[in-house]
């Protein structure tokens, strides 16, 4: 059981854990089915390793390591930094207004161009009414 504990504490899983503990993977699976203490040894090894690493990170964070502190906040406390979003509404309106004016100019130019073509081919009487 000690070898299972030690292998799990290293972070090994499945077949790698079995082989490191000195067993064939099939032997390890059978042992876990027959003896719940084998699975408990694996869980205890993982928990002890996680606890030791958490203590190292916490010591670093409390000693002023800001990267360690941020990682603890992000991964253990689901903390997310605020995203600052600032929208200048006046600028947005002026951009929309400028686009509308540009579109209107394009429409005006197209109508003016077509109007000239129509006038060239229209009878004399129609030209006088359009101008």
Q: Which residue has the higher pLDDT, 35 or 131?
A: 35
| Tens digit of each residue's pLDDT (9 = 90 or more) over 49-93 | 999 988 998 898 889 888 888 888 888 777 777 777 766 665 556
Is the pTM value of this prediction over 0.75?
no
Outline where the chain has alpha helix (H): 2-9, 14-20, 25-34, 36-62, 66-76, 89-121, 124-130
CA separation for the pair 53, 60 (Å, rounded): 11
- For the cut 80, the answer to whether the pLDDT of residue 4 exceeds it is yes
Cα–Cα distance list, 49 to 8, 37, 69, 86, 130 (Å): 8, 18, 19, 44, 90
Domain range annotation of the chain? 2-76, 89-130
């Amino acid at each position: 059981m000690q070898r299972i504990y030690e292998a799990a504490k290293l972070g090994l899983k499945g077949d790698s854990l079995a082989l490191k503990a000195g067993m064939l993977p099939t032997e390890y699976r059978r042992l876990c089915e027959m003896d719940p203490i084998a699975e408990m040894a694996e869980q205890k090894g993982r928990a002890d390793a996680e606890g030791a690493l958490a203590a190292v990170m916490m010591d670093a964070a409390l000693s002023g390591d800001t990267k360690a502190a941020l990682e603890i906040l992000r991964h253990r406390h689901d903390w997310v930094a605020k995203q600052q979003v600032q929208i200048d509404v006046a600028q947005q309106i002026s951009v929309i207004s400028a686009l509308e004016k540009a579109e209107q100019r394009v429409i005006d130019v197209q109508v003016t161009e077509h109007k000239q073509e129509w006038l060239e081919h229209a009878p004399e009487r129609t030209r006088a009414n359009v101008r």
